[in-house]
Structure 1
C-alpha cells in the first residue's frame, strides 16, 4: 500500500466509505480507479493506493464525491458483511463471508389421483334417462316416473348426498342408489341385480 495522504474509513455490511483528506482538491483533477480488490486515488502529485482490499467490491456501483476538506470514496461490497480492516490477504475475496445456503431440493411432485367428476356423470345419467322412450323403459313418463323421482331427490340433496348418489349409481351399474356418502366413499359399490336375476357385463 502506497500513500502520501491521510485517510480513515468506516463500514456497514453493504458498503465501506474511505475518506481521503485532501483539502481543496480540484474535482476536475481528481482521478479514482476502482478494481475488484483495489482503489487508487490520484490528485496532481498526491497518490493513495489501497490494495489488496480485505474483500471484493463492485467497481461499477462504487463512486466518490469531492468536498472542500476531504474526498469520500464509497466502496460497494460484493458480499455483505464486516471486513474489520481495510486491507488483507485472502485466497478467495468472498471466502470470509457466509454464503446463503442453497434451498433444499423440492421433492418431485406426486401424480395426483384423478377424481371422478360426479356432477358430469349426473348430467350424463339424467340426459340418458330423458332420452329413453316409453318403448325402451316403461317407467319413463308420468308424474311418478323414476326419472322425475331421481331428479327431485338430486335437486334437494346436499353435495355429499349428490356424490353418494352418483358414485353408487355409476359403480353398481344402476342397480343401487345410495345417499350415504360416508358409507359409499369407503369402497366401490357392488352390483346388486334384482332378486331372481343375474348380472352380466356386455362386451362393447
Structure 2
C-alpha cells in the first residue's frame, strides 16, 4: 500500500528568535512516521516523550533557538514500541499504532469526529451458481469452462488440443462421480460419448453415438 504523505509547519518561538521548522508525516500498516526537518541537531539536545495519544519533541536548533513540538494524536499509539532517531538531516519519530487502521489526520480534531479507515477492504461480488456434487467441495463449472475458453483465446489451441484441454480440466477438478461417469461413458461408447452425469450413465450401458448426419454400423455390417 502506498504511503500517505502529509505536511505541516511548526512555528517555533524562543526568547532569541522565531524559527520555522517543517515536519512531515506518513503512515504504514503498523506505524506513523513523523519527520522533523531540523538539521544538524545534537543527539543529547533532543528530548522525546511518548504518551498513549500524545507526542512531545524538544531540542535546541543550531542557531540557538528552542524547538518544541506538542501533538495530541488522532489515535492511540503504543509508547513502549515507539522510537526516534537523530541524523544530520532530520529527526525521525516512529509511532507504533495501537490498531492497524488508516489515520485520516495526524492530530486530534475535537470539532469534528474522526472516522478511522481500514487499511484493506474486501469486496464480495455475486458470481455464477455453484453446482453441488458428492465431493466435500463444490465446483463452479461455469467458471471452469470460462477459464478454459479464456485460455483458448490467449493460447489459440487448435481442434483436438482445445477439446482435450477442456476435458482434462473438468476431470482433474471433478468429483469421484464425475470421474466415474466420464470413464464409463468414454469406454462403453468407444470414445463417442463423454458424460459428467453419473446418475445418467450408471443405470445402463452407454451406446455408441455417431456424429451428426452419420450412421454408426458395426464392422461386419
* TM-score bracket for this pair, using the shorter chain length: 0.3 to 0.5
Q: 1 or 2, which has the higher strand percentage?
A: 2
TM-score by length of 2: 0.39
Normalising to structure 1: TM-score of the pair? 0.41
If you compute each CA radius of gyration, which structure gives the higher value, 1 or 2?
1
